[in-house]
Amino acid sequence: MDLDSVRKKIDAIDEQVLQLLNERIRNAAEIGRIKREHGAQIYVASREEQVLKKLSALNLSLIHI
C-alpha cells in the first residue's frame, strides 16, 4: 500500500468520525430537550462517569497497534 492510498483511507475515516460525532451531538441535544420537558436534571455526573468508563473499557478492548 502506498502513502497516498493510506492517506485517502484516513480521510474517509475522519469523515465518518465527524458524521458520528455530529449524530451524537444531535442525540445529546434531544436528551437535553426531553429532560427540560420533564423537569429532569440536565447534568448527571454519575451518567458522565458511566459513559467514560464504558468508552475507556471499549477502547482498551479495541487497541490493536
Contact 35, 41 (CB under 8 A): yes
Q: Domain spans of the chain?
A: 3-62
Residue 42 has φ and ψ, to the nearest 5°, of -75, -55
The three grid cell numbers given for residue 23, joined into one nine-digit string: 449524530
pLDDT at res. 65: 61
CA atoms of 54 and 49, how far apart (whole Å): 9
pLDDT at res. 54: 96
Contact 51, 58 (CB under 8 A): no
Query: Each residue's pLDDT tens digit in the chain (65 positions)?
Result: 899 999 999 999 999 999 999 999 999 999 999 999 999 999 999 999 999 999 999 999 888 76
Which are the contacts of 41, defined by CB distance < 8 A and separation ≥ 6?
35
pLDDT for 48-62, tens place per residue? Answer: 999 999 999 999 988
Domain 3-62 maps to which CATH number in 3.30.70.100, 3.40.50.1000, 1.20.59.10, 1.10.1060.10? 1.20.59.10
